[in-house]
């Protein structure tokens, strides 16, 4: 254990919801819930305004709507969140070479390894400067915890929320942890918490008083021993800079079970393209393609195929996923589909056999190999990958909260859509006041999907034009 609180834990405040509020002036200070909007959706993040109504992450979206019927409900924009996360992680890497990201909005930093702090005063100064830099660069707030260990730094950042800093001074750890509930400690989930409660142990101090032998008897040698050490505020885990990504995957849960086999094939093809986009964005390729199918009865099947070499070719991944689907019976209905790639590498071994086939087809006039490309998940239907007749184009889908651009009104975001209409609020992150609202047909040729705008430092030329009406 070190003697100075030089391990920092950063946790961005209600990250997804805060990013949406920063991007949409009309939602600032209001209840915002981000997640899947269908009847089977769950809450990813709720703003602090929504949390006052009892809404929290992992809650079924239907329950959230009952608790906060007037909140704004938005579909996640992971592209924006990843961009902001990279900005934040860049600030952390300026402090130390040892940065351990836990998710898009959370990371540990070893300040001592970066030579920027060696005592309480310097650690606090670094933490305060980091919070100010994050606000200046992203427009968002983060909470900082500082302590001598990772466990205590994470506890400190949780106590600092929202938009605060908490430093746990060396020597005060046991007194701080003692009265806290057992669920405060890492590795104590609902099941372990209930097991300890039945044994009469409800606080961290009672874990320490029970002794290591009793904890081992209750929870086993590994879990019981580590839990006893943490109750004594002992945590020797180092900050680890690199965490190897083992796989990349995407999945969708559907509001209504899918029974049509052609639709299932189309969804698998769309998921394969999205998976490859993530794979390429991470700078990886992979050789094992995985298909996940959850059927109407909640049974979940996985199928995998290992290629001769790693690939990041969307056509190869689509074809492999389609082959895997042929071995799965979906006649009773499908409620979830997923496509993943594992066996990751940092290079791509081209599929020479596929290249030879494409060249031969071109020479014989049989057509060209389909080029790889990005998929527009909002507005473009996916081509059929089976042998049946092509599916007719479907109505353009506009996800609530996603960015759009209108030829006349400029940049805006979707407030909602249905019955052939889409309602858009035209505003940008740097608009001085909430924007005007307009409603269009979903197939309006002047309306198109757009990329998210930066939350800070926008160009006034991007601001929507105000053209009559309210």
In contact, 396 and 404? CB cutoff 8 Å = no
User: Is the CB of residue 326 less than 8 Å from the CB of residue 314?
Assistant: no
- CB atoms < 10 A from the CB of 428, how many? 23
DSSP notation for 195-212: HHHHTT--BHHHHHHH-H
Distance CA 282, CA 361 (A): 32
The β-bridge relationship of strands 436-441 and 300-311 is unpaired
For tokens 């005060």, name the residue: 172
Q: If we measure between CA atoms, which residue out of 53, 55, 35, 32 comes closest to residue 43?
A: 35
The answer to whether residues 352 and 313 touch, using CB atoms and an 8 Å cutoff, is no
In sequence order, what are the residues at sequence separation of 6 or more whose Cβ sits closer than 8 angstroms to the Cβ of residue 240?
A: 98, 100
Give the residue from 25, 21, 22 showing the smallest Cα distance to 427.
Answer: 25
Residue keyed to tokens 């961290």:
204
How many whole angstroms separate alpha carbon 15 and alpha carbon 37? Answer: 18
Is the CA virtual torsion 406, 412, 414, 417 positive or negative?
negative
Q: Cβ of 93: how many Cβ atoms within 10 Å?
A: 15
Q: Which of 106, 112, 173, 267 is catalytic?
A: 106
Q: Which residues contact 412 (CB under 8 A, 6 or more apart)?
A: 403, 404, 405, 406, 424, 425, 426, 427, 435, 438, 464
Which among 230, 171, 157, 208 is positioned nearest to 11, based on CA atoms? 157
Query: Residue 106 catalytic?
Result: yes
* Active site residues per annotation: 106
């Amino acid at each position: 254990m070190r003697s100075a609180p030089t391990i920092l834990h950063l946790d961005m405040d209600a990250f997804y919801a805060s990013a949406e509020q920063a991007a949409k002036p009309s939602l600032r200070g209001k209840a915002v819930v981000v997640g899947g909007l269908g009847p089977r959706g769950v809450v990813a993040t709720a703003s602090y305004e929504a949390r006052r109504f009892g809404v929290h992450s992992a809650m079924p979206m239907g329950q959230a709507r009952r608790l906060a019927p007037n909140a704004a409900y938005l579909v996640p924009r992971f592209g924006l969140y990843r961009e902001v996360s990279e900005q934040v992680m860049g600030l952390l890497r300026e402090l130390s070479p040892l940065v351990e990201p836990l998710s898009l909005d959370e990371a540990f930093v070893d300040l001592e390894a970066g030579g920027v702090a060696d005592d309480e005063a310097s650690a606090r100064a670094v933490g305060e400067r980091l919070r100010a830099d994050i606000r200046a660069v992203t427009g968002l707030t983060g909470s900082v915890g500082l302590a001598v260990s990772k466990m205590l730094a994470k506890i400190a950042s949780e106590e600092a929320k929202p938009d605060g800093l908490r430093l746990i001074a060396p020597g005060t750890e046991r007194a701080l942890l003692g009265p806290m509930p057992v669920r405060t400690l890492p590795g104590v989930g609902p099941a372990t918490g209930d097991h300890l409660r039945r044994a009469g142990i409800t606080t961290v101090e009672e874990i320490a008083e029970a002794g290591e032998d009793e904890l081992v008897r209750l929870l086993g040698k590994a879990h019981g021993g580590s839990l006893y050490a943490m109750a004594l505020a002992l945590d020797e885990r180092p900050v680890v800079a690199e965490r190897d990504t083992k796989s990349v995957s995407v999945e969708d849960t559907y509001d209504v079970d899918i029974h049509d086999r052609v639709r299932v094939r189309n969804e698998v093809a769309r998921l394969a393209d999205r998976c490859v986009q993530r794979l390429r964005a991470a700078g990886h390729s992979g050789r094992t393609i995985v298909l996940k199918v959850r059927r109407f009865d909640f049974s979940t099947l996985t199928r995998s195929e290992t290629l001769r070499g790693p690939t990041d070719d969307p056509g190869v991944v689509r074809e492999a996923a389609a082959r895997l689907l042929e071995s799965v019976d979906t006649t009773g209905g499908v409620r979830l589909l997923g496509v993943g790639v594992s066996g990751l590498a940092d290079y791509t071994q081209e599929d020479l056999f596929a290249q030879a086939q494409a060249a031969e087809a071109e020479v014989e006039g049989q057509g060209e190999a389909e080029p790889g490309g990005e998929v527009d998940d909002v507005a473009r239907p996916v081509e059929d990958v089976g042998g049946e007749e092509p599916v007719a184009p479907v109505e353009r889908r506009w996800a609530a909260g996603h960015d759009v651009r209108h030829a006349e009104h400029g940049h805006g975001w979707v407030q909602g859509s249905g019955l052939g209409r889409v309602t858009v609020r035209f505003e940008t992150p740097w608009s001085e006041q909430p924007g005007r609202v307009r409603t269009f047909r979903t197939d309006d040729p002047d309306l198109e999907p757009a990329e998210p705008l930066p939350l800070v430092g926008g160009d006034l030329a991007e601001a929507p034009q105000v053209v009559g009406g309210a």
